[in-house]
A = this chain, B = another copy of it.
Amino acid sequence: MLHFECDYTGGALPEVLEALTATNGEQTPGYGADIHTGRAKELIRSLCGAPDAEVYLAVGGTQANAMVLDALLGPSEGVVAAETAHIGVHEAGAIEASGHKVLTLGQHDGKIAAADLADYLRAFYADDTWPHMVIPGAVYISFPTELGTLYTRDELRELAAVCRRYELPLYVDGARLGYGLAAASCDVTLADLAAEADVFYLGGTKQGLLMGEAVVARKGLLRNFFTVMKRHGGVLAKGRLLGVQFCALLSDDLYLRSSRWAVELAMRLREGFAARGYAPLVDSPTNQQFFRLPNALIDRLSERASFGYWGPRGAEASAVRFVTSWATTREEVDGLVALLDEA
């Protein structure tokens, strides 16, 4: 079976597993007070050019989102997000579980436009019944988005400017951040992100760790965040597992190297499909590629490859998603494309 259903079907990058093995015999203090975690945080601050940033290592993305937004939002506040945002759709109400509403905006290929955000905020406060409504308390975007697209640096800055005008923290979900930074068209750097976002997380699970996400926050913003994490069940007893893995991922350019690999294969896949008449549904420069394919083709491909529907199955044709990762091989991509020619 050729695996394209997501970027977490594999285990870990070999370097990551080796680092875990190499450090397995060590005895370290729990809950992230170990030296590996300390070093990982330093590495991240350094890569972000943000020496004052606070870094927290979390286990998973849904949890990171829930913990950060729990810390950012007051009791009367919700988070503004695209209607396609992962937090509003596929996280089982984890934001609502802390009492907060997800306030949705229309999206453009998975992105929210600064102008739309500004319009929404202006209209919100222009409506004199606003105190009866959930107050926007933070803005969530994903980078790359759920549709694989990227904000340009200008778009990011414009969004951040609107956020600052309304004193709303901007939070960026970077579950697939590496695949975004590695995209040919990406003009955003980690330092840009650290400068424009108030909080973001640099995803590890989808980038070759067993699990782990690194939350990076403006100093002082996330009050008592260790305790917030603990109350969410989000503090790992053997915290060093996260530290050791991030140290390995962020050394020797492994993070970007492995991301670039996945993105190159995604482009190869996309070109293979396009050359056979299947234009992508979304112009995604990252590791997720979307196509509308005839159901008959989908059924045939499914016998040899795994991938997912994107939305409900249509009458004749359906939208599907193919995802590459650090673990994808060229042979897999070529094998998938070759399947298009069969029949």
Point out residues on A near B: beta carbons under 8 Å: 1, 3, 5-6, 8-12, 14, 17, 20-21, 23-31, 59-67, 70-71, 74-78, 89-94, 96-102, 123, 126-127, 129, 131-135, 205-206, 210-211, 223-224, 226-228, 230-238, 240-241, 306, 309, 312-313, 327
Q: Quick check: A93 and B101 within 8 Å, CB to CB?
A: yes
Question: Assembly of this chain: how many copies?
Answer: 4
A226–B235 Cα gap in the complex (Å)?
Answer: 20
Question: In whole Å, how far is A340's beta carbon from the nearest beta carbon of chain B?
Answer: 21
Q: Quick check: B11 and A30 within 8 Å, CB to CB?
A: no
A66–B63 Cα gap in the complex (Å)?
Answer: 13
Known pairs A71-B75, A97-B231; A238 contacts B8 (CB<8 A): yes
Between A and B, 16 residue pairs with Cβ closer than 8 Å are A11-B23, A11-B238, A59-B59, A62-B235, A67-B233, A75-B97, A75-B231, A92-B227, A126-B312, A131-B227, A132-B227, A134-B231, A135-B224, A210-B238, A232-B232, A233-B233
A210–B211 Cα gap in the complex (Å)?
Answer: 11
CB neighbours of A232 from chain B (8 A): 63, 94, 97, 232-233
**Closest chain B residue to A327, Cβ basis:** B27
A100–B70 Cα gap in the complex (Å)?
Answer: 13
With A6-B237, A90-B132, A92-B231 already in contact, 19 other A-B pairs whose C-beta atoms are closer than 8 Å: A1-B27, A10-B24, A11-B240, A12-B24, A71-B74, A89-B133, A91-B132, A91-B233, A92-B133, A94-B230, A94-B233, A96-B231, A97-B99, A98-B99, A127-B312, A135-B224, A210-B238, A232-B233, A233-B234
CB neighbours of A126 from chain B (8 A): 312-313
CB neighbours of A74 from chain B (8 A): 71, 223-224
Interface centre among A75, A102, A206 (most CB of B within 10 A): A75
A32–B94 Cα gap in the complex (Å)?
Answer: 19
Q: Quick check: B233 and A62 within 8 Å, CB to CB?
A: yes
Q: Quick check: B98 and A97 within 8 Å, CB to CB?
A: yes
A4–B207 Cα gap in the complex (Å)?
Answer: 35
Q: Quick check: A231 and B59 within 8 Å, CB to CB?
A: no
Q: Quick check: A5 and B29 within 8 Å, CB to CB?
A: yes
CB neighbours of A26 from chain B (8 A): 10-11
Q: Quick check: B17 and A30 within 8 Å, CB to CB?
A: no
Question: In whole Å, how far is A21's beta carbon from the nearest beta carbon of chain B?
Answer: 6
Interface centre among A11, A60, A92 (most CB of B within 10 A): A92
Interface centre among A23, A30, A134, A309 (most CB of B within 10 A): A134
Question: In whole Å, how far is A245's beta carbon from the nearest beta carbon of chain B?
Answer: 10
Q: Quick check: B205 and A237 within 8 Å, CB to CB?
A: yes
CB neighbours of A14 from chain B (8 A): 24
Q: Quick check: A226 and B131 within 8 Å, CB to CB?
A: yes
Question: In whole Å, how far is A96's beta carbon from the nearest beta carbon of chain B?
Answer: 5
A277–B210 Cα gap in the complex (Å)?
Answer: 47
